[in-house]
Amino acid sequence: MGRKELTGKISTLLILLLLTGAIFFFSLLKGKVSYTFSDLFSRKGEADIILLNIRLPRCITALIVGGILSISGVVLQGILQNPLAEPYTLGISGGGALGTTIAVILGFGIAGRVGLSFAGALLSIFLVLLLAQRRGITPASLILSGVIISFLFTSLVLLLFSLSHTREIHEVYSWMMGNLSTLTLHQAKIFFLLSLPFIPLLFTGRELNVLSMGDERAHSLGIVPSRWRLFLFLLTAYLAGMSISFTGIIGFVGLMVPHLLRLAWGENNIFLLPASFLAGGSFLLLCDFLARNIAYPEEIPVGVITGILGSIFFFFLFLKGKYGNIT
Amino acid sequence: MRQRLIFLLLFLFIPLSFLAGEINRIVSLSPDITKSILLLGEEKKIVGVTRYSPIHNKPVIGSILQINIEKVVSLKPDLILATKEGNPKEVIEKLRSLKLKVIVLNEQKSIGDVFRNFLYLGEILDKEREAEKIINQVKEKLEKIKEKWKGKTPIPTFIQVGISPLVTVGSDTPLNEMLEIAGGKNIFSHLKRYPRINPEEVWRRNPRVYFVVSMGKKISPLFPPRGVKIYFLSAEDFASLTPVDVLKGVELIYHYLWEEKN
């Protein structure tokens, strides 16, 4: 890569960073009750509570979850060599849903729900690996195992639905549509700490590039593909599973953002990873802003917004004939 | 001509009276219907109930949403009582296609609806007088509660239903009306049914009392405004309402609004 290209990519990253920052503060300050930048530092009465306790946890989590889902998409599309791969391909959404359903039925509060949801996601990861490693940790076996485990857990969730109250079903169903509206500052802090492993993931671009070239090439460059696939898979699954425990299932971000950026940036994962993180974070921040303001004071599940915007995007992408990155 | 009219009228009335006389085996597909039948003193006629009914020695035919049709049929009911709100339409249609008599009660969106359904049940069971008596007693006591806070300003109140997402009650719900009778003002009464809302608006509207309605374990209120009084209500007391439940609920809410020195 020439110096010009490098400078170009770095400056675009910086612009993305600034843009993300702007969107973050826009989302934080604007709403039915709008604040100015200086309000952040003056701490008077109501400003305190709405900004700090309600919007800040929401915005921080949206930024990080959007980023995590996007880089998970990039990584999974790379290691599975499948452009339709995204964080939920490998069954964690089913596991998370089962955990949440059990927690709701048992009457647990938020802490219990997050905990059980994460446990469910971990269980599904474990089962997928158990199943896949019998045939070797290859893209095909991982995807197949993911589908099988996903079906299993979803069926269990539906079984539990058939035995529960309407209210319980509604709550789980809402979780499955994604929800950032009930996050407290305390939860956001915990989430932030638990999500820090995303940072090393941002720097695995080189290995990801090599893995996408096929196993033989990888060996010749000194990278053991199955081990790296396992490591990347585990890290991604942990991050995505942990995210959905806090926010429910937010779809499309992991699928759409990597494709959008590849159109603009090309396939190089070294830059695609940080760029996707920022773009995904910005996208989810905007979607959450819409989710909480479009029908104010009523809230729309954020997963619905990402789904609709994501579908529209893919529709135009398809129309424009930009198949190059999909097939 | 007049003879024909009389004959026609008799023809209409006789089947109805036979109906009341012939009902001995009732399957209830909803807890509120079961409770109402108990209130009207017809417990012995119940042969099947749903899972969370307050009655323990009768066969269970499933839950409101998951009804075991075979079980219902095996109990050989004369009458099956269902609700529009809770029971799935397909189940009701299937039961009717099996030549079983199913009467469906309308949704309860207000206290008036609760009374209407209860009266209708009374008619079906030939216990109209008892039903009217109970309703009038409840109405009287509700008026007395209204008198108690007369002249004072209704207290701005927020009702949280469920943990996540944040859901409250709007205007066409019995709970909203019960709150108003007890002297509270629902800060979201301009919305309808059970809207999912943005917590910012709760804070903006500054309620003085915050009710958390939960099933089973107590759940925490979400972002309660500073200085607000928080009280917990059990969902079981406010779902599946009979007129007596309405009265008990209003009394409880009144107590929390005006009598608790928190």
Identify all chain A residues contacting B164, using CB atoms and an 8 Å cutoff.
110, 113, 171, 174-175, 179, 182
- Chosen for mutation from A181, A185, A186, A246 (greatest number of chain B CBs closer than 10 Å) is A181
CA distance, residue A108 to nearest chain B CA (Å)? 7
Among partner residues A33, A165, A167, which is closest to B204 by beta-carbon distance?
A: A33
Closest residue, chain B, to A288 (C-alpha)? B198
- Rounded CA separation B36/A309 (Å): 49
Q: Which residues pair with B202 in a beta bridge?
A: none
For chain A, say whether B238 makes contact (Cβ under 8 Å).
Answer: no
Q: How confident is the model at residue B189 (pLDDT cuts 50, 70, 90)?
A: very high
Q: What is the pLDDT of residue B7?
A: 64
Q: How confident is the model at residue B215 (pLDDT cuts 50, 70, 90)?
A: confident
CA distance, residue B246 to nearest chain A CA (Å)? 20
- Rounded CA separation B131/B127 (Å): 6
Q: What is the pLDDT of residue A327?
A: 42
Among partner residues B63, B200, B215, which is closest to A107 by beta-carbon distance?
A: B215
Residue A53 is given by DSSP the state: I
Closest by CA position to B244, among listed B134, B153, B167: B134
CA distance, residue A288 to nearest chain B CA (Å)? 11
- Rounded CA separation A130/A296 (Å): 46
For the stretch B120-167, pLDDT in tens is 999 999 899 999 999 999 999 999 999 999 999 999 999 998 777 889
For chain B, say whether A288 makes contact (Cβ under 8 Å).
Answer: no
For chain B, say whether A49 makes contact (Cβ under 8 Å).
Answer: yes
| Four-residue CA torsion sign, B227, B168, B105, B65 | negative
Burial label, B259 (beta-carbon count in 10 A; 0-12, 13-18, 19+)? exposed
Identify all chain A residues contacting B197, using CB atoms and an 8 Å cutoff.
297-299
Q: What is the pLDDT of residue B22?
A: 75
Examine the pLDDT at B15 and tell me if it is beyond 80: no
Closest by CA position to A63, among listed A174, A195, A173, A182: A195
Q: Are strands B209-214 and B184-186 parallel, antiparallel or unpaired?
A: unpaired
Q: What is the pLDDT of residue B11?
A: 56
Domains and CATH numbers, chain B: 7-134 (3.40.50.1980), 141-259 (3.40.50.1980)
For chain A, say whether B86 makes contact (Cβ under 8 Å).
Answer: yes
Identify all chain A residues contacting B198, using CB atoms and an 8 Å cutoff.
32, 181, 292-293, 296-299
Among partner residues B165, B215, B220, which is closest to A174 by beta-carbon distance?
A: B165
The reply to whether residue B235 touches residue A167, judged by beta carbons under 8 angstroms, is yes
Q: What ipTM did this prediction achieve?
A: 0.80
pTM of the model: 0.85
Q: Which residues of chain A have pLDDT under 70?
A: 1, 40-48, 321-327
For chain A, say whether B226 makes contact (Cβ under 8 Å).
Answer: yes
Identify all chain A residues contacting B219, using CB atoms and an 8 Å cutoff.
109
The residue that leads in pLDDT, B86 or A73, is A73
The reply to whether residue A179 touches residue B165, judged by beta carbons under 8 angstroms, is yes
